[in-house]
Each structure stands twice: as structure tokens, then as C-alpha cells.
Amino acid sequence: MEERPGGYEVSNIVLYNKGGTKQLSEDDIKALHCSECSLLLREPYQLLNCGHRICRSCLLETVLKKNNPVCPEDKEPVTKNDVRPDKGCAKEINSLTAACGGSENGCTWRGTVAEAEIHVESCVYIVVPCPQGCGQRLSRNELSNHIQNDCQNKPDASQLIATLMQKLNQLETKFQVTVGSLQKEITNLKLQVKEVPQLKAKINDLTEELTKFNKVTQESLIAADSGRRFTGLDDDGRGGDPGYGSGNFVRGQMPSMASSSSSGGFSSAYTGSSSMPSSYSSGDEELRATVHKLQKDVDLIKPVLQDYQSQIAGYLEVVQTVQESVTRHAVLMEEVKLRQDILDVKTTNGVFIWKIPEIARRYADAQQRRTLSLYSPPFHTSPHGYRMCIRAYLNGDGSGKGTHISVFFVLMKSEHDNLLSWPFKSPVTFQLLNLSNSGNNVTETFMPDLQSPSFQQPKSEMNIASGFPRFAKQSYLKDPNFTKGDAIFIRCKIDLSSIDSKLE
């Protein structure tokens, strides 16, 4: 990601502890603020002389560039040798759960502090001042209607279009920068992950080598012990029980063997003769030296093995982090794209055709549970009518999970709801468009259940979705009759005949 100056701006973020169970107090947040920029610390460094913390960019770009650097809080002198990265503080900040400040208006997003900084820049639920300078503060999704109808400094149509185009261009630029940075980050992490098999191979080699060393060591110790028993030597090289070695032979057996031997070799071993004990004592020492050397080699190998085991554990954590990061970034990219789509689309006649591009990738994301569902941009039955959207599960939901595409109708809260008749009564028709000449669309229609909360006046941003878990077979996602240019088209039509024309 591109490096940003200063700390994290958290005015539109609600911070929770790790796990998201407890909201941080003002004192908790203040303890994590930068002494220079007063924002939440980004890449924190600690000033060793006084203990205060400061962002890396604030330290390098502001504090240390002064002629006589001092701590921004207590004015203690600061040099490059008096600072160090505060990894503990960084870990604490990275573990925090951040919720969108637009949660009171319906936003349910949660993520890390770094992700929240990107999210709030485009979230339509964040409250912002009117850009026309009238003094009103509204959520972004209310700005368009406010500027067109209620703003005291309402611009003319050409100025409004120019403003919207400028915002769209800014959002598109941010989206492209975000995507490029994420792709670069993912590529770097994938290169690190590629090292994991090599480390596993090294671990296996070292484990095999250590096993061989242990086996040889054990055999050598057994051989040494056998030498002591055969020569009648104790561990210190002195003779044991004459004639009976270590006492492992039956009394009377070895003397008879010795007396029957023509060479007298056995007899000397058991009658105190020094020639045989001396010879075997030398061999015993060689075995001891060999065993000692092998044991030293084993002792040298063990720390190396432990180090590699530690490294492999670290890389496995990296793999897990990469997978989680890819999932979060994929969702984030979908969200930014949706914000762009919302600016592009304005349908007010109750008929909406939703193009879902990159269908192969999105279908794979759904199967891998990276993105469970997709939302269409909102559309309306009229300029001041019902507001709604489509929700699609490409890998299915409920009874259609894994086999069918699930499609649902979602009523959304709007500023004109109090003018409309409730519950919502109009029949809703969905079609998966057949793009060939045959024209055999997949079509399903339902009548609203007037008792269901799905069709009552919305109290939150969206009502509970209602529709078809088994709308269309997933095989259609690969059927050239329904997929063109890696995209499918879902048409939603609202029957307007049952809507009061006075309200429309």
C-alpha cells in the first residue's frame, strides 16, 4: 500500500479491543496517539529518553529534520540513536477491531484500522458537511437529494453534473491505486510463501539426519557396553570379576572353556593377564571417542533444527495472514467497485437490468467463501418511489447452496418512505437473460407476503431479503447462451399497476 503521512484518522471510526467485544474509551485511544500529529499511531517509534511515542513518518519528516530535535510533548532532546520501533504498540494497534462511524446510519462494516481508513473515504453512510457550504451535515447517501432539493446553496444542473463527475473520477483513481497496491502486496507475500516448501524440505532432511545420528549413537553405546562386558572392564577401565567378566556368565562355564582351549587366549582374559585387557581397553576408548563426536554433532544439529522449526512456524503464520489478507482485500475491492457502480446507475421506472461482470472470478470467490453475496446498485419505482436492490448468491444460499444461483429482492430505506403505501404489494419478476436468439430466459415471479417484515416500511438501511434460493442452475454461469464477455444479466421488474399513482 502507498505510505501515508502521519497517523490514522479515527474521527469516523469506532475502535474496539481485539475480538471486537469492548469499545475503547477516550483514555485508551489517547494512550495510542502520536505525540506529533495527535492521530492514532502509524508504525510507532518510542523515544527512549522520555518514553513518548511518535509515528515513523512524523519522526523522519518532522522531528528529526529540525536543527535541534526534541520530543513534541516534553521537549526532551532526541537523536537517531534515542529511538526504536515499538513493535509491542504496533501489534496492539494492528489487533484492534475498527467499526465504521456510519454504523448509526446502517453500515455494518468491520475490519482493521488500516482497512477502515480506506473504507471511510467511500462509505455512503458516513456523515459529512454539505459541500455547497450550507452548514448541513448528512450521510453521503443523502447528499445527492439534499443538494438537488433542499440545499440553500443548490447548484444549477451543469454544476451538479460537473461535481458528480469529479467525485466519480476521484473514486475511480483511488480504486485503481488501491487495486494496484493490493496486487503488489499480494505478489510479494506469495513470493514469501513459495519459500515454505523449501524450508519443509530442509526440516525433513535435518530430521532424517538427526534420526541417523541417534541410531548410530545408540548402536555405538551398545557396542561400547558389549566391549566392557567381554573384556571384564568397568567404566573406569579396571578389571571386574576375574574369570566372569561383568558377571553375565554362569559360574563354572567360562573356566571350563578356558581350560579346554589349546591357545590359552580365553584363559588369559580371566586369569588377570594384562595383554587382552589392554587391547580391548584401547578399542573401548576409540568407541567412546566416536560416540562423543557423534553426540557433539547431534548437539550442533539440534539448535539448527529448532531454528528451522521456528522459521517454518513463522512462515505458516505468514500463509494464514496472506489468506486472511487476500480475503479482506477482495471484499474491500468489491465494496469500492460497488460505490462506483452506485454513482453510475440511476433507474426510476421499476425495471432494472443488473450486469454482473467478471462472472468466472466472482463465482470462484463465492465457492471459496471469499465473497458470499453481491448487491446490485439501488433502483426505484419512480423518482420519489420505493427504493430497492437485488442480492445474489452465485454459489447459492439455503436450499440452493452449492447447486443453484440464489436471487433475492431487498427493500431499502429512502427519504420518501413516509409518502408511500405500506406494506409493499407489487409483484416482483426476476429474469436471468438468455443472450442467444432463442430468448428462453429463466423467469420467476412472486407476490409479496403482506405479513412478512421483508415488505414493511424499512426501519434500518435494508429489510430482510426475500426471493428464490433455487432461482437458476449454476451451470448457466458457464453456458454461452447466458454468459457473454464474462458477464451475466439479471433483470428485475416491478409491476407498477398496484402502486398508487398519486404517490408516484
Which tens digit of pLDDT belongs to each residue from 118-177?
A: 888 888 889 888 888 888 888 888 887 787 778 887 766 666 566 667 777 677 676 666
User: Does one domain contain both 260 and 367?
Assistant: no
Is 118 inside any structural domain?
no
| β-strand pairing of 374-375 with 13-16 | unpaired
Domain count, the chain: 3
Is 408 inside any structural domain?
yes
138 close to 415: Cβ distance less than 8 angstroms: no
User: Does one domain contain both 390 and 470?
Assistant: yes
User: Does one domain contain both 16 and 54?
Assistant: yes
pLDDT tens over the chain, length 504 residues: 445 678 898 888 999 998 888 999 989 999 999 999 999 999 999 998 888 999 999 998 888 888 889 999 999 999 888 899 999 999 999 999 999 988 888 888 999 998 888 888 888 889 888 888 888 888 888 887 787 778 887 766 666 566 667 777 677 676 666 666 777 777 777 676 666 677 667 767 767 776 776 676 666 666 655 555 554 444 444 444 444 444 444 433 444 334 434 444 433 343 444 444 444 455 567 767 777 777 776 677 667 666 666 666 666 666 666 666 666 666 666 655 555 555 445 567 889 999 999 999 999 989 988 778 899 989 999 888 999 999 999 999 989 999 999 999 999 998 889 999 999 999 999 999 999 877 789 999 999 999 999 999 999 889 999 999 999 999 999 999 999 999 999 999 999 887 765 454
User: What are 9's three cell numbers?
Assistant: 484518522
User: Does one domain contain both 96 and 206?
Assistant: no
Is 300 inside any structural domain?
yes
pLDDT of residue 336: 58
pLDDT of residue 264: 42
User: Does one domain contain both 471 and 427?
Assistant: yes
- Full strand arrangement of the beta sheet holding 110-111: 13-16, 97-100, 110-111
Picking from 283, 303, 320, the residue at the C-terminal end of a domain is 320
pLDDT of residue 457: 94
| Contacts for 49 with CB less than 8 Å, ≥ 6 apart | 71, 76, 77, 78, 82
User: Does one domain contain both 433 and 371?
Assistant: yes
User: Does one domain contain both 357 and 298?
Assistant: no
Mapping DSSP onto H, E and C, the string for 211-231 reads: HHHHHHHHHHHHHHHHHHHHH
Structural domain for 434, as ranges: 345-498
Picking from 77, 101, 125, the residue at the C-terminal end of a domain is 101
Phi, psi at residue 443, to the nearest 5°? -130, 135
Is 353 inside any structural domain?
yes
Residue type, 330: A
User: Does one domain contain both 236 and 303?
Assistant: yes
CB crowding 389-428: b at 16 or more within 10 Å, else e: bbbbbbbbbeebeeebbbbbbbbbbbeebeebeeebebeb
User: Does one domain contain both 269 and 358?
Assistant: no
Nearest CA to 339 out of 107, 57, 56, 52 is that of 107
Is 253 inside any structural domain?
yes
| Contacts for 382 with CB less than 8 Å, ≥ 6 apart | 348, 349, 350, 504
What is the pTM assigned to this prediction?
0.40
Provide the CATH number for the domain around residue 52.
3.30.40.10
| CA separation for the pair 475, 482 (Å, rounded) | 10
Picking from 101, 131, 150, the residue at the C-terminal end of a domain is 101
Is 175 inside any structural domain?
no
Is 191 inside any structural domain?
no
| CA separation for the pair 380, 420 (Å, rounded) | 12
pLDDT of residue 254: 41
Total residue count of the chain as it appears in this document: 504
User: Does one domain contain both 297 and 392?
Assistant: no
Is 466 inside any structural domain?
yes
Contacts of range 140-145, beta carbons closer than 8 Å, 24 or more positions apart: 141/105, 142/415, 145/415
| CA separation for the pair 202, 308 (Å, rounded) | 8
| CA separation for the pair 407, 392 (Å, rounded) | 5
User: Does one domain contain both 263 and 383?
Assistant: no
Provide the CATH number for the domain around residue 439.
2.60.210.10
pLDDT of residue 240: 45
User: Does one domain contain both 296 and 418?
Assistant: no
Phi, psi at residue 480, to the nearest 5°? -60, -20
